[in-house]
Amino acid sequence: MTGERARADGSTSRANAGGVPSGSKRDEIDRVRKSLPIALAKTRLMEEIRKSETCIIIGETGSGKTTQIPQYVYEDETLTNGLMIGVTQPRRVAAVSVSRRVADETGTEHGKLVGYAIRFEDVSSEETRIKFLTDGMLLRESVIDPLLSKYGVIMIDEAHERTLQTDFLLGTIKGVQKLRRKSVEDARGRVLPPLRVIVMSATLEASTFSKFFDGAPVVYSRGRTFPVDMFYTEEPEEDYLDAAMWTVLQINKEEAPGDVLVFLTGQEEIETLGKMLRERASKLPANVPTLNVVLLFAALPPEEQMRVFEQTPTGTRKIVLATNIAETSLTINGIRYVVDSGLSKMRTYHPRSGVDELLVSPIAQSQAQQRAGRAGREAPGKCFRLYTEDVMPSLPKYVKPELLRTNLSGVVLQLKAMNVDDILSFPFIDSPPKEALLRSLELLYALDALDDEGKLNDVGRKMARFPLEPMAARCVIAAEKEGCTIETLAILAMLSTDSVFYFSRDSNGQKNVARHKLMRKEGDHLTLLRVFNEFSACSAKRSRDWCREHEVNHRAMTKAAKINEQLTRSALTLGIKLKSCDDNFDAVLRSLVAGFFMNSASKDMDGAYKVFTTGQKLTIHPSSVMFQSPPETILFNELVRTSKMYARDVSSIKRSWLSELASKTFAKRARPQ
Ligand code: ADP
Ligand code: MG
């Protein structure tokens, strides 16, 4: 009955909303929905879901878990009790794209019945019943509403990814479930029903989840898959982008119709290969299909993300260049060929320094399998691995949970804000190393977020409510004192988007000539500020030309501007005053030092840099404005390891600021070791 309700909503909004499917698209959607493996298992699945408070669902990628099960659950009032269904995703892109798809399928306007919430963006309303959100967003909601009283059902999707936030959420939800079993009341005095939880995963390993939820039942829904032929390179590839390009061109020339999915590690690389392929595409002979190159990575705006789902016109071949987002979170129909670089970017934490490092690392065997599987969803396919066959056994079997390899200070801060004082007793699905938790506590103490007894103080409470990592949030609080909140917020917004400069690859490495005009000698942070300010000073019409002239990514800038608005709003909500320091750049740099002091290093005898707290050696990345004239002491925002350990987003700072602004860490330390 409720299924009809969804459709009836659709017919009213169909008249006035452009994005709602018309008749034939509707039929096509219904046809696809009915044929999905999950649809065929619906009766059995729903029986299991009704039977127990918590249930684990395992199903092949693309079988319909994410798009279908929330709709089935919505149709059953006994499951929702009229409350919302929250479906969490580790990735922002997936939350946006999947909610749009489900809105389409229900024939309703996006943001009404079906909506989403990700950091810096909320497309939902009072009417929303199926809400997709990132795990991080639901965690934030649970800080404000510890009973999650708006929700009747929580679905934790992509649990196999074992991201930091997912694992943290699993522990939190377990606690909420316990509270809700006691017939508690919400703010309006209504007794809340127990909280139903559905954990969904694409890999077969389910015992961890089942055990964690006290033996919750596991339901398997096997999808149909076709054989995939594997090809490996004979020798290790020196330049896998080049190898990827030639592989794509060869597939295009020699293989039967079918689209190609290429797995790469990140935005820059994807854009570079995109350019390389488009250049080649214009010179292809007439007898091979035209290349239709589309990109897919997290920073892409939703409209462009949707392009990967568009059908391929005859005579053309779609080439999707994607990050591991296309591994299990998004399924693109029509793929017959997969090209796998064997790599992905992993956030890895140095427990001693508190610095997160974005590491391009070999994928796990489970990921290699998932990637190959994308080629055999609709018909037999082929997978071209850009690595040698003997590498396979040396890869780890599964991805190591992020919780065990990343910075936990954000999690610990949230725990403190949720009044979990004894963080060592929190029910983590896999306990992080005690040392890592203690380091996080130390960092929070060094950031002045905790008092001497380890309790959250005012600074810490503000930091916990700010939609940024603790170190970045600390910068904002320091900025108020330095009188430069406007500038610091702008820089943090710029750091929250992906790279804004286009770099072209040539024999000398990375180049961006136009950027010279925007450079500020103090470093990358103030250069980013200048870019932000000049961009913001342009009219909407002029801003595109300005970006073109300066080889700046317009899309990334628009996003930075939006994030800046959000951050500014958050600051105002927390009572942080907006102040500008005009050209007093020291103030801005000092505010950054107050938060990111762990990421500081000084020049060593050999010209390389050494991180103060850890002794880690590093070099300034060639893309930095500081590359040509390396200063004595630097602050950086990111470590990237390729052939060497590189620091990105680098600025020159004064050594004395460290002991002044981060006294808990630096006052006693006389010299770098
Ligand atoms: P799972 O969660 O089990 O991996 P999904 O529910 O994401 O599966 O996908 C089910 C089907 O819906 C797939 O065939 C997928 O291609 C299709 N689909 C999902 N999003 C879109 C979209 N935006 N446009 C077209 N098809 C889509
Ligand atoms: Mg899914």
- For residue 488, the model assigns a pLDDT of 97
CATH number of the structural domain 228-402 = 3.40.50.300
CATH number of 24-221: 3.40.50.300
Specify the residue with its C-alpha closest to ligand 1, atom 6.
64
Give residue limits of the domains in the chain.
24-221, 228-402, 466-666
Q: Is 373 in the pocket of ligand 1 (CB under 6 A)?
A: no
**Continuous segment of H or E residues that includes residue 320:** strand 316-322
Which range (299-303, 395-399, 656-660) has the least confidence?
A: 299-303
Residue 598 burial class via C-beta count within 10 angstroms: exposed 0-12, middle 13-18, buried 19 and up: buried
Task: Give the model's pLDDT for residue 477.
Answer: 96
Q: Which atom of ligand 1 is nearest to the CA of 61?
A: 4
Pairing of strands 609-611, 504-506: unpaired
pLDDT at 463 over 90: yes
Q: What is the pLDDT of residue 559?
A: 85
pLDDT digits (tens, 9 = 90+) for 612-657: 988 889 999 988 999 989 999 999 998 887 778 899 899 999 999 9
Residue whose CA lies nearest to ligand 1 atom number 18: 331
Instruction: Report CA(43)–ligand 1 centroid distance (Å).
Output: 20
Degrees to nearest 5, angle at CA 310 with 326 and 107: 95
Q: Is the pLDDT score of 323 beyond 50?
A: yes
Instruction: Give CA–CA dist 430/399, Å, rounded.
Output: 13
Distance 323 CA to ligand 2 centre (A): 16
Given this chain, do its domains 24-221 and 228-402 carry the same CATH topology? yes
* pLDDT tens by residue, 162-178: 988 999 999 999 999 99
CB-based contacts of 388-395 (< 8 A; 24+ apart in sequence): 388/232, 388/233, 388/234, 388/235, 388/236, 389/232, 391/236, 391/342, 391/362, 392/365, 392/368, 395/362, 395/363, 395/364, 395/365, 395/368
Quick one: pLDDT at residue 211? 95
Distance between CA atoms of 2 and 76, rounded to whole angstroms?
A: 7
CA–CA dist 293, 306 (Å, integer): 13
Atom of ligand 1 nearest to the CA of 333: 16
Handedness of CA 6, 12, 17, 21 (dihedral sign): positive
Tell me how far the alpha carbon of residue 200 lies from the centroid of ligand 2, in angstroms: 8
**3-state SS, residue 152:** strand
Q: Where are the beta strands (DSSP E) in 110-171?
A: 114-118, 121-123, 130-134, 151-156
CA pseudo-torsion sign 582, 583, 586, 588 = positive
Exposed / middle / buried, residue 179 (Cβ in 10 Å: 0-12, 13-18, 19+) = middle
Residue 98 CA, ligand 1 centroid: distance in Å: 7
Torsion of CA 290, 296, 299, 303, to 10 degrees: 70
The response to whether residue 65 sits with its C-beta less than 6 Å from ligand 1 reads: yes
Minimum-distance ligand 1 atom for the alpha carbon of 68: 6
Atom of ligand 1 minimally distant from the CA of 329: 4
What is the amino acid identity at position 311?
Q
Tell me the C-alpha distance between 166 and 328, whole Å. Answer: 15
Which H or E run contains 651?
Answer: strand 645-652
